[in-house]
Amino acid sequence: MFSKIHYILIFQRKILLPATIISTVLGTVGMSINEEPLITNAGFSYLFILPLFQFFVYELRYPNEYYFYQNLGISRVVLWAACAAHVLVVNIVISLF
């Protein structure tokens, strides 16, 4: 079980940093527009940016990487569910602030 979680984190590692940077930039732009805190705007944009990055990177640019994870016993649905769970956990933590 631990190894599957490790492989899911490896899968998401390629998209986490760019999604976080772009969400932070969009959060600062949104902070000047609607006067809400940076963390709220960044979390809201992260809700859309991370799944978009996963779509563009893994569905369009590198679609054959799904076969690697499928050979490890991780389906495409599990990888998308992990992305959705990650986004929900981040937004729940942000909403606590």
**Contact present, 49 and 23 (Cβ < 8 Å):** yes
Confidence band (pLDDT; 50, 70, 90) for 51? very high
- Rounded-to-integer distance, Cα 88 and Cα 39, Å: 15
Helix (H, G, I), strand (E, B) or coil at 73: coil
Work out the mean pLDDT of the chain and round it to a whole number. Answer: 86
- Rounded-to-integer distance, Cα 40 and Cα 35, Å: 10
Q: What is the pLDDT of residue 80?
A: 94
Instruction: Calculate mean pLDDT across residues 28-49.
Output: 79
Instruction: Calculate mean pLDDT across residues 24-43.
Output: 78
14: pLDDT strictly greater than 80: yes
1: pLDDT strictly greater than 70: no
Q: What is the pLDDT of residue 76?
A: 93
Q: What is the pLDDT of residue 93?
A: 86
